[in-house]
Chains A and B, each alone.
Chain A
C-alpha cells in the first residue's frame, strides 16, 4: 500500500508539472450518462439502486464523469482544460481471469482547443493543415506526459503501440464495396474476424472473396473491378496483407501509407518524439482495434515484455463531450496502477525517499519540555516544508 501511494504521488506530480489539475469525480454515475457517453459500459458496470428506486452505476471509467464535468460545471473555464486523476473504477464483468473488478487508474484528459495563435490561420485553404496541426499538438502533449510519467516511475523496456480509427474505416469501406458487388453479407464477418485476431479464417474468407469478385465483376462495373485488382494502391492486396503486415516498427509500417494522407502525417509527427525521449519508443499495430463507438482517431496502448496485455491505453475521443452538450475535441490516457505496480521492480522506485530526508525528533517529556511543546515546535518546521517524524 505504501508503494501504491508513492506511485500515485510521483504520477500526479508529473501530471501537475504539465499544469494538470487533479479532480475526483463522483463514485456514483447515472445510467443515462453512461448510455449517452459509452453504451458498452452499461453491460460492464455495477448497478446500484437508491432509496427512490432509481438505477445508478458505480463509475466504470473516469473519462466519462470528467467529460460531463467539462461540459457542465467547467464549461466556462478557459480551454484547453487540463485535468488528471488517480482513483478507482469498478467493472462488473472483468475480461480476463486476473482482471480485477476494482481497478486503480491514473490518467489525464486534455479537453478543448488550444488558444488561437495570431496568424496561424491565414485562409480557408489552410483549414485541413490547420486541423492537422491542432490534432498533432494535443497528440504530442498527451504522449509526452505519458512517456514522462512512465520514466518517473522507472518503467524502462516498454513500447507505445499506435493505431488509428481511420485505417479501420478505410478497410470497412472496401468491405462494403465488395459486399455490394457480391450481394452477400460479408463486411461484418470480415471486420469481426480481423478484429478478433482470427487471421487464418480471415485470410480464407478474403481468398474466397477475391475469386468470387473477379468472377462477379460484369463489364459495366469495371470501375470497382479496377479498385479491387489494380496493382497500384491495391485494396484487396492491402486486405490480404492486413493481418500480417500491419504490425511493426513505424518506419516499416508508415511506408504502406500515402505520404500526403493525414493519417501518415499525424503518425509521422508522433514518431518525432523519439528525438526527445530516445529511440525505439513506438510500434504501430493497425490490427489493434480502437472501440469505434468511443475513439475518433489516434489510439495507443502501453505494453511491456512478459506481461501479455496492455498496462495503459488512451486516444482521441472528439465526440464524447458533445454527448454531454458541448462539442469539443479531447484526448487522454489512463494507466492501470495495479499492473504497473506488479511490473515495476521495487528498486526502480525510490520508495519512501521522503522518509530518508525526514527530520527525526525525540517525542519525550522532560521537566523543561512538555509533549505539547514538541508539537508546537515541530509544527513550525513542517510549515517550512520539512518532513518531521516524532520518535
Chain B
C-alpha cells in the first residue's frame, strides 16, 4: 500500500481536493485520526505537520508528500521534487510594524533582530544583500514578535496580507514566491515509477484546468 503525507493547515484543503481529482479520496470525518485509507484501497493518507512531511518522505515512511516549496528550500530534504501543484501560492516577505522607521531594505540597520520560522532562507537572503542580522527562530505566531519588541522585523509567509494588517505590520520587501510541490522518496520513485508517473500526469491535467479557468 502506498503512503501519502499531507500537511496540516493552509495546504490541507487544496491537497485533499487534488487527491479527490486523482481518485484518491479518503474519509476525513474522524478528526482525530491521523492515518486514513483512501476509498479505493490503493493508498493511506497521513496528516502531519508541514515541516514533517519532508522528513517522512526523506526517510521512506511515506512514499509521496504534498508540501510547500518554502519547506523544501528551508530544510533541503533529500527527496525528489516531482511536480508543482496548482494551489497554496504565497509570498515570503520582510515585514515591519507600519510605525517602524524601517521602511525598505535600505533602512534595515546592521544587527537588526528578525523573527522567523525560516532561519535558513532568512540568513541566505540577508547574506545575499550583505546585511548582518540577528535571527530569532520561532515556531508560530511570528506577527506578535515585533509588537512585543522581541524583534524589529519578521520574515514570514503571506497569503492575502490580512494577518499582517490586523497586527499593524506591512510588507516592505518581497523575498520569494512559493507554491506547493509533490515530493517523493527516491526509492519509492524507482519501485513505483509507473503509478507515480500516472499521478503526475493527472496533476498536470488538473494544473492546466486551473490555468485555463483563470
A residues adjacent to B (C-beta < 8 A): 95-98, 159, 161, 196-201, 243-244, 247-248, 283, 285, 287-288, 303-310
Interface residues of B in 55-91 (CB under 8 A from A): 55, 58-61, 78-84
Which are the 9 A-B pairs with shortest beta-carbon distances? A308-B60, A197-B80, A303-B187, A200-B84, A198-B81, A200-B81, A247-B193, A248-B193, A285-B190
Residue from B78, B84, B186, B194 with most neighbouring chain A CB atoms (10 Å): B186
How far does the Cβ of B44 sit from chain A's closest Cβ, in whole Å?
12
Tell me if B59 and A96 are in contact (CB < 8 A).
yes
Cα separation A98 to B56 with both chains bound (whole Å):
12
Tell me if A199 and B82 are in contact (CB < 8 A).
yes
B147 beta carbon closer than 8 Å to chain A: no
Total number of B residues with any Cβ neighbor in A under 8 Å? 24
Q: Output the nearest chain A residue to B1 by Cβ-Cβ distance.
A: A306
Residue from A98, A247, A308 with most neighbouring chain B CB atoms (10 Å): A308
Tell me if A248 and B194 are in contact (CB < 8 A).
yes
How far does the Cβ of B171 sit from chain A's closest Cβ, in whole Å?
25
B49 beta carbon closer than 8 Å to chain A: no
For chain A, what secondary structure do more than half of its interface residues adopt (helix, strand, loop), or is it mixed? Answer: loop
Chain B 160-204 interface mask (CB, 8 Å, partner A; 1/0) = 000000000000000000000100011111110110010010000
Task: A159-B190, A244-B197, A308-B59 are known; give 20 further A-B pairs, CB within 8 A.
Answer: A96-B78, A97-B55, A159-B191, A161-B190, A197-B79, A199-B83, A200-B82, A200-B83, A200-B181, A247-B190, A248-B193, A248-B194, A283-B190, A283-B191, A285-B190, A288-B186, A303-B187, A303-B191, A308-B60, A308-B185
Tell me if B188 and A308 are in contact (CB < 8 A).
yes
Cα separation A96 to B55 with both chains bound (whole Å):
10
How far does the Cβ of A150 sit from chain B's closest Cβ, in whole Å?
16
Cα separation A204 to B59 with both chains bound (whole Å):
27
Cα separation A14 to B105 with both chains bound (whole Å):
65
Decide yes or no: A244 and B200 within 8 Å by CB, A197-B79, A200-B81, A200-B82 being known contacts.
yes
Cα separation A201 to B76 with both chains bound (whole Å):
14
CB-defined contacts of A95 to chain B, threshold 8 Å: 78
Tell me if A308 and B193 are in contact (CB < 8 A).
no
Tell me if B60 and A309 are in contact (CB < 8 A).
yes
CB-defined contacts of B186 to chain A, threshold 8 Å: 197, 288, 309
Cα separation A283 to B83 with both chains bound (whole Å):
22
CB-defined contacts of A247 to chain B, threshold 8 Å: 189-190, 193
How far does the Cβ of A267 sit from chain B's closest Cβ, in whole Å?
16
> Which of A196, A287, A305 contacts B191, CB < 8 Å?
A305
Decide yes or no: A197 and B191 within 8 Å by CB, A97-B59, A244-B197 being known contacts.
no
Q: Output the nearest chain A residue to B3 by Cβ-Cβ distance.
A: A306
How far does the Cβ of A79 sit from chain B's closest Cβ, in whole Å?
35
Tell me if A96 and B190 are in contact (CB < 8 A).
no
Tell me if B187 and A308 are in contact (CB < 8 A).
yes
CB-defined contacts of B185 to chain A, threshold 8 Å: 308
Q: Output the nearest chain A residue to B76 by Cβ-Cβ distance.
A: A196
Tell me if B80 and A308 are in contact (CB < 8 A).
no
Cα separation A284 to B155 with both chains bound (whole Å):
43
Tell me if A96 and B58 are in contact (CB < 8 A).
yes
CB-defined contacts of B188 to chain A, threshold 8 Å: 308
Give 25 CB contacts A-B under 8 Å.
Answer: A95-B78, A96-B78, A97-B55, A98-B59, A161-B190, A196-B78, A197-B78, A197-B79, A198-B81, A199-B80, A199-B81, A200-B82, A243-B82, A244-B200, A247-B190, A283-B193, A288-B190, A303-B187, A305-B187, A306-B60, A307-B187, A308-B60, A308-B185, A308-B187, A309-B187
CB-defined contacts of B187 to chain A, threshold 8 Å: 303-305, 307-310
Q: Output the nearest chain A residue to B183 by Cβ-Cβ distance.
A: A197
